Amino acid sequence: MAKASQSVEKRTLRKGSWSPDEDRKLIAYINRHGIWNWTEMAKPAGLQRSGKSCRLRWVNYLRPGIKRGNFTREEDETIIELHERLGNRWSVIASRLPGRTDNEIKNHWHTHLRKRLKYNSVSTSELFQISNVETGKKSSSEVDLPPAIAPANSESSSAIQLSQQFSTDSLPSSGSKPAAEIDRYQTTEDTLVSSETFGELQSILEQPFTAEGSSTADNYGAIYAEPGISATSC
């Protein structure tokens, strides 16, 4: 493609929040054709978005199996535990929290957990009590969390409904390119395989958690047992 037309395209690309209509288009396209090339997909999908933007929206928001809403105490503890071991390796941490995205975990860390750890002399379980006193203001996801799944806003909710709706015939098991390509996006753990430190990470991750509870393998099964998403392809 010529440089001139590329720059024109760049100028016409939409930025900012996604509309429900855009969400619908992206989901519909992916369900029909699968994920084959983010930068090329946007146009035939009818979206004036960059490939990056589409990918981000899908991975963090529209993908089936995304868990929205408040973090549970177990999830919080898992994040804290893993962050102690791994640092800001959000994608690795996300791989241990089925249904949570690295972006969401990162945000949650910066907005909730990090400040709790300022009280770094206390145990993780005590952090949950401290948060009550400390924040005083908003109590959104802090303590005694309900198993909330309620999305933050109406747009989110519509996106999720759409996603779930589409997921019934979900990620393409047939079609021109999909299966092999899509596998790449099914699990964050797969992305670790290529890492030179995979072994190292795995050994770290396989150490028992005090707080991890039921959050890993079992839930993977549950999450990815959604229609149209095979656990094996994860």
Q: Confirm or reject binding of residue 136 to DNA (CB under 7 A).
A: yes
- Compute the least distance from the CB of residue 50 to DNA, in Å: 7
Q: Which among 77, 138, 68 is positioned nearest to 113, based on CA atoms?
A: 77
Stretch that binds DNA, among 60-68, 74-82, 200-208, 211-219 (CB under 7 A): 60-68
CA dist 117 → 92, 107, 183 (Å): 20, 15, 36
CA distance 234 to 232: 5
- How many residues bind DNA (CB under 7 A)? The answer is 54
- Compute the least distance from the CB of residue 225 to DNA, in Å: 22
Identify whether the C-beta of residue 42 lies closer than 8 Å to the C-beta of residue 180.
no
Name, in order, each residue with C-beta under 8 angstroms of 150's C-beta and a sequence gap of 6 or more: 68, 69, 157
Stretch that binds DNA, among 86-94, 121-129, 198-206, 220-228 (CB under 7 A): 86-94
Q: Looking at 9, 20, 89, 231, which residue binds DNA (CB under 7 A)?
A: 89
Q: Looking at 12, 194, 214, 232, which residue binds DNA (CB under 7 A)?
A: 194
Q: Looking at 122, 150, 184, 204, which residue binds DNA (CB under 7 A)?
A: 184
What is the footprint of DNA within residues 141-180 (CB under 7 A)? Answer: 141, 152-153, 156
- Compute the least distance from the CB of residue 80 to DNA, in Å: 15
| Residue whose token pair is 């519509």 | 158
Q: How would you label 193-216 residue by residue, b for 16+ Cβ within 10 Å and e otherwise?
A: eeeeeeeebeeebeeebebbeebe
Identify whether the C-beta of residue 182 lies closer than 8 Å to the C-beta of residue 171.
yes
Q: Looking at 29, 61, 166, 220, which residue binds DNA (CB under 7 A)?
A: 61
Q: Confirm or reject binding of residue 118 to DNA (CB under 7 A).
A: no
CA distance 130 to 116: 7
Chain contacts with DNA (rule: CB under 7 A): 14-18, 35-40, 49-53, 55-57, 59-61, 68, 88-92, 102-104, 106-108, 110-112, 135-141, 152-153, 156, 184-185, 188, 191, 194-196
